[in-house]
Amino acid sequence: MLLDSPPAVQATPLLDAHAQLRGAVDALGYGEDVFQMLATPRRELSVAVPLRTDAGGIMTLRGYRVQHNFSRGPAKGGLRFSPGVDLDEVRALAMWMTWKCALVDLPYGGAKGGLAIDPSEHSTAELERATRRYTSEILPIIGPERDVPAPDIGTDEQTMAWIMDTYSANHGYTVPGVVTGKPLSLGGSLGRATATSRGVALVALAALEHIGIGAGGATASVQGYGKVGRAAARFLAEAGVRVVAVSDRFGGIHRTAGLDVQALERHVDLHGTVRGFDGGDSIDGADVLTLEVDLLVPAAVEGVINETNARNVLARVVVEGANGPTTTAADAILAERGTLVVPDILANSGGVIVSYFEWAQANQTYRWALETVEDRLRTRILAAWTEVLDASQRRGTSLRRAAMTIAVERVYDAHRSRGLYP
């Protein structure tokens, strides 16, 4: 087929991840060989996951685990259940985990898993079988000292319990450190379930304060109302921020005077969506991204702020609760407009920080009090915020470039100290 003009290059998470790495490698003065080494995942596993359905048939699902880097320690990162997930998306997400862990100084590399399944279309029994079979397929490459999965989109503490049980059954003893984000009854950490949101709120308040807006006078919109967005909206509201809009995949809700987030949570518990909440006006989900607010928290998936809508983003601060919500093209547009973008690897690092605390508690066989977890989370994430802000001011770059530069330098330093084998 002949085309009049070449097709536009599609933005993808992997291209964005590579562009961000390229920027950091150039800023650090490293060569193309270092870029190639850091752009290439150390290990990738693609597996078939045959699932016996409740109706008795067999569905064959595709699964992945990508271990991007081990220079600073075992690989670490979530497992995503989502119908469209593919190897390239998992590669991007795994790479972002490496930078995130290095930025907040955790002794980990980065990894990510994916299973192409829509959890809303399957019974609990089917999800359990799919999770256990996926786990057994990736069993040789995971473990507390190798690679430690955690929840991500479409997975939760029940998923982690099944992974831990499958892994433990195959080893003949209980291995709590093989996953994080477990139920409390299996050695999960207090504060883990809301840790990502807690971190998002802490960093958002620091960023608002940095541009001279106190929590009391601030307005916010939150796109995505799942594991990250829901509690982030609550924590922001508790800090005095007026949360004027939220959305999920079914639609959005807007109220200029601020949403009653507690009433909204009750509505969502009953109906499974923010849609139909009578404490605000219905709006299109996509419009939540372009409201005139001080703070925008994209807390769903990659690429939602892109070349098409970035010029319409009116928020003064964007705090990335999701991984990769802003494409490279959108990043440039937002920078031109003076929008402060707090990058994902900093903004949503609260989850993996408390995952690390959970793993440390498993290794110590000792449970920390909630205050200990939350104090240490606050200290660590705010230290990273200050470090990134200082670096961005010193280097005259965006917060993302500053964060990436710090992270990439740490990973490369570890690599250099270890040397290349053989």
Size of site (CB under 6 A) for ligand GLU: 11
Q: Is 285 in the site for ligand GLU (CB under 6 A)?
A: no
> In this chain, which stretch among 44-52, 70-78, 197-205, 384-392 interacts with ligand GLU, using CB under 6 A?
70-78
Q: Which residues does 353 contact at the CB level (< 8 Å), separation at least 6?
A: 104, 106, 195, 199, 376, 377, 380, 381
Distance CA 114, CA 382 (A): 30
Minimum Å distance from CB 296 to ligand GLU? 19
Closer residue to ligand GLU, CB minimum distance, 96 or 277: 96
Radius of gyration of the chain (CA): 21
Among 67, 223, 290, 323, binds ligand GLU (CB under 6 A): 323
Q: Is 191 in the site for ligand GLU (CB under 6 A)?
A: no
Residue 112 designated active-site:
yes
| CB-count burial class (<10 Å; 0-12, 13-18, 19+) for 144 | middle
Distance CA 135, CA 139 (A): 6
Name the closest residue to ligand GLU (Cβ).
78
Minimum Å distance from CB 298 to ligand GLU? 14
311 vs 185, 289, 336, CA distance in Å? 47, 11, 10
- Catalytic-role residue among 76, 100, 112, 227: 112
Residues 199 and 321 sit within 8 Å (Cβ to Cβ): no
Distance CA 165, CA 145 (A): 17
Q: Is 351 in the site for ligand GLU (CB under 6 A)?
A: yes
Q: Is 78 in the site for ligand GLU (CB under 6 A)?
A: yes
Among 150, 293, 301, 362, binds ligand GLU (CB under 6 A): 150
> In this chain, which stretch among 73-81, 136-144, 203-211, 287-295 interacts with ligand GLU, using CB under 6 A?
73-81
Residues 163 and 131 sit within 8 Å (Cβ to Cβ): yes
Closer residue to ligand GLU, CB minimum distance, 306 or 348: 348
205 vs 34, 191, 245, 322, 348, CA distance in Å? 36, 19, 17, 17, 14
Q: Is 176 in the site for ligand GLU (CB under 6 A)?
A: no
Active site (catalytic) residues? 112
The footprint of ligand GLU (CB under 6 A) covers: 76-78, 150, 152, 180, 323, 348, 351-352, 355
